[in-house]
Structure 1
Amino acid sequence: MGAQLAGKGGGGRGKRRGYRAMAEINMTPFIDVMLVLLIVFMVAAPLLTVGVPVDLPKTNAAPLEAQKDPLFVTVQADGTIFVQEQRVDRAGLVPLLTAITNANAEARILVRGDARIAYGTMLEVMGTMSAAGFKKVGLVAELPNTPAKR
């Protein structure tokens, strides 16, 4: 009896589908930002290691195992001494090391000496530390194929 005039549905009025909110999170922009940050930090991390510039001698000896917070004493080519990054004279070396290590004779101290420095100067610095009771005093060198870090 009744006739259908328009569309598939009844009553001449078509049903429109409305847009529903998408319940998924688009992860692509998040991943892109994380990858960019990863690259930025990978490039910036080596630049954060600050030290006193010194031309280290080359050696083929195997590197020692990494330790927690080594204490560096640097002797530059002109004989200037640094503890970490603080300049110190030879007379103030032992009191400063004693204060930093809390008088711990077992604290590991690594000496970085310029390749052009006189051998006697290095022995004087190391002898001063040994005479003060520091037992773990070592030398730092670079592998022959490693470029110098400045």
Structure 2
Amino acid sequence: MARIFRRQRNLHPVAELNVTNLVDLGFTLLIIFMLAAPLIQNEQTIPVNLPEQSKSAQQIPPADTEYLSIVIDKAGQIFTGTSKAPISFDELSAQLAVAAKKPKQPVVRIRADGAIAYQKVIKVMDELGKQNLTKISFDTQTK
């Protein structure tokens, strides 16, 4: 007679959690934050004491809005969004001319120190008007 040797299988619940997908998600988020953090902090590296305003409701811009940041520090030096070195007014004018030629104009964010002469901001505003850049935002801090 032929005998069949079989092991009996005990059915029991699997007590292990497959974390492979969670690790992949964690690493993906880490990479995204590592790439985004320097871009967010880039314009914040120039110390500027923004003028104060009272709190008000903020409008949420569309997701596809492009921004061009212009920073004027306490000494009156002009910086653009990605530059850490001051640029001349002629260089700013050239960068604004390039931005004005884009099919969808960017929103120009002006971050001016509260202690600078008003004329510096007006000079930048005048150049924005010459280039027909009409979407302008002033960065302030709340009281």
- Cα distance in structure 2, aligned partners of 1:88 and 1:64: 31
- Larger Cα-atom Rg: 1
Which residue in 1 is equivalent to 2:140? 141
- Cα distance in structure 2, aligned partners of 1:143 and 1:41: 33
Q: Are residues 1:74 and 2:64 paired? A: no
Which residue in 2 is equivalent to 1:16? 6
Q: 1:92 to 1:38 in 2, by over 3 A?
A: closer
Q: Are residues 1:111 and 2:110 paired? A: yes
Which residue in 2 is equivalent to 1:84? 81
Q: Which amino acid aligns with 1:63?
A: Q
Give the TM-score normalised by structure 2: 0.65
Q: 1:32 to 1:129 in 2, by over 3 A?
A: closer
- Cα distance in structure 2, aligned partners of 1:78 and 1:39: 39
SS of residue matched to 1:138: strand
> What RMSD over aligned residues (CA atoms) do the two structures have, in Å?
3.5
- Cα distance in structure 2, aligned partners of 1:43 and 1:82: 25
Q: How many residues align?
A: 129
List alignment gaps of at least 5 residues for structure 2. Answer: none
Could you give the per-residue CA deviations for residues 38-97 of structure 1, whole angstroms, max 9, x where no partner exists?
663576444442224232333224334324111111111111112222342123322221
Give the TM-score normalised by structure 1: 0.62
Identity %: 19
Displacement of 1:133 after TM fit?
A: 2.9
- Cα distance in structure 1, aligned partners of 2:33 and 2:93: 37
List alignment gaps of at least 5 residues for structure 1. Answer: 1-9, 145-150
- Cα distance in structure 2, aligned partners of 1:39 and 1:138: 31
Which residue in 1 is equivalent to 2:57? 62
